[in-house]
Amino acid sequence: MSADIYHILSKIHWISVLIFLLLYIYKLVLLIINKLGDLDRFSKKFRIPESIISVIFLLTGGLLLINTGNTSNFLWVKIGLVFISIPLGIIGFKKHNKVLGVLCILLIVASYGMAEINKNITKKELKIVLQSIPAPKVEPTSTKDTLQNEQIKKEITEYGKQLYTAACINCHGENGDLGKSGAKNLKMSSLSETEKKRIITKGKGVMPGYSSLSEAQVQAIIEYIATLKK
């Protein structure tokens, strides 16, 4: 899936989740202040738009899920929470059960929080993993010893491969062309080295920035990516 389509899908997903949440919060307010007649009228009036919104939100969520490079358990917990919350809401509002209504909204909010916590944890874990990969001790020199320089270059590329495998493979894949989460095909990239470095450290669209990478690490990754083209 291309980066643009992924981007548009995630926008639609978030907008539909937000509308869904607002509808449910409004219903919850009516339920809590005991305006049960209003609640039933509102539910009846918005039954079809609500169904359309929930289909859009589940469908876009499903498409994003198929195309995501994020394979953590947190994601499954998040999806589990969403799937539990919807029937709770439907029953809660129908039967005028406040506890179920509150629980439904809490679960939806928790599933959002889950995704945010997950982002921070993976970032911290990744930082530790990246730091634990030993860097080659030497830099290529300008000496005439090409054989030695070849060897050093090989070591740097190998270092880059390990960093790439730890940080980038989920979306870009082993060969750079997996395209998960809308990731661009690195084999086909026409960007300059400087532009690539900027995207790697600062991120772009769905791709997070890797600001904790040192210059030498980014350089090693660039060297490795260049070998994917062949």
List 30, 104, 114, 221, residue binding ligand HEC (CB under 6 A): 221
Query: What's the rounded Cα separation, in Å, for the pair 211 and 202?
Result: 6
List 96, 127, 196, 198, residue binding ligand HEC (CB under 6 A): 196
The one-letter code for the residue type at 9 is L
Query: What's the rounded Cα separation, in Å, for the pair 86 and 124?
Result: 32
Does 205 bind ligand HEC (CB under 6 A)? Our answer is: yes
List 53, 108, 114, 207, residue binding ligand HEC (CB under 6 A): 207
Does 140 bind ligand HEC (CB under 6 A)? Our answer is: no
Does 184 bind ligand HEC (CB under 6 A)? Our answer is: yes
CB 89 within 8 A of CB 101: yes
Q: Which stretch binds ligand HEC (CB under 6 A): 52-60, 71-79, 86-94, 202-210?
A: 202-210
Does 162 bind ligand HEC (CB under 6 A)? Our answer is: no
List 123, 202, 204, 229, residue binding ligand HEC (CB under 6 A): 204
